[in-house]
Amino acid sequence: MKYHDEFNSSRMRNTLGGNIRKYRMLRGWTQKELAEQTNKSESAIRNYELGNRVPDQETVESISQALSLKSDYLYAPNPENCSSAFNILQRFESLYGLVPKMVDGDLHLVFVPPSEDSNVANPIDKYVLKQNLLRWCQIRDSFKSGEYSEDDYYTWLLSDGVVKNAFSDFKGYPLPLEDKIENEKTRRGWGLYPSPVYDEDNNLILPLPEDEKPTE
C-alpha cells in the first residue's frame, strides 16, 4: 500500500506540475510572471512545475485563475468526476475531432468530417479511435441482441488484448470509405508505408504510388 500511495502521489505531482508549466507557456508567461500574478515566489513556481513541491488547493485555484483556466485542467483527468469527465470530452475535439451534435433531436458524439482534419492534432489517431469505437459498437450490438452473455461482454471490456475472449475475432463495423481514403492520404503525407484502399466490393479505390508498386 505504501508503494501504491507513493506512486500515485509522485504521479499526481508530476502531472500537476507539468500542467502548470504547459498552460503557463501557452500563455507566454515566464515563471516570474506567474509568480507575480499569484503572489508566490519564482522558486515556488519552479518547484511546483518540477514536482518537488505540491501546491495546496488554494494555490492551485490561484494559479488556475491567473491562467484563466478551470482548476480541473491542472489535475490528472478523472473520468469518475463529472466536471473532469466533461473537460476530457472537450479535449477530444482538438485531439480526435470528436464533438457533440444533435441528430434528429438526440444528442450524439460524432467525428468531424475529413475536410476538417486540419484542426485535429493527429488525424491518424482520430481514425484509429474511430475504428476502435466501431469495433466496440459491433461487440455491444451483438451483446445487446442476446447473442452473447453479460459475462462475455464484461470479460471483453476488462481483458481485450490480454486474453482470448468471445469477441477476440470481431473486426468491427467497416470504416466509411471516405474516412479510409483520408486516413491513407494522411499516413502517406507523414511518410508512413502506404497501403491500397478497397471498397466493400473489393474494388481498388486508392492504389499504391507508382514508386511503391512491386516490380514484376
Q: What are the domain boundaries of the chain?
A: 2-74, 111-175
Separation between Cα atoms, residue 65 and residue 45, nearest integer Å: 15
Of 18-22, 55-59, 117-121, 154-158, the range with the lowest mean pLDDT is 117-121
Using 50, 70 and 90 to split pLDDT, how confident is the model at 5? very low
Global pTM value: 0.70
Q: How far is CA 168 from CA 20, 39, 136, in A?
A: 41, 55, 11
Classify residue 209 as exposed, middle or buried by CB count within 10 Å of its CB (0-12, 13-18, 19+). Answer: exposed
Contacts of 129 (CB under 8 A, 6+ apart): 96, 98
Amino acid (1-letter code) at residue 80: E
CB 114 within 8 A of CB 176: no
Residue count (the chain): 216
Q: Is residue 126 classed as helix, strand or coil in its secondary structure?
A: helix
Burial 50-72 (b: 16+ CB within 10 A, else e): ebebebeeebbebbbebbebeeb
At 188, the pLDDT band (50, 70, 90 cuts) reads confident
Q: What CATH number does the domain located at 2-74 have?
A: 1.10.260.40
Q: Is 55 helix (H, G, I), strand (E, B) or coil?
A: coil
Per-residue pLDDT tens for 62-111?
Answer: 999 999 988 888 988 888 888 889 988 998 999 999 999 999 999 999 99
Tell me, what's the pLDDT at 21? 94
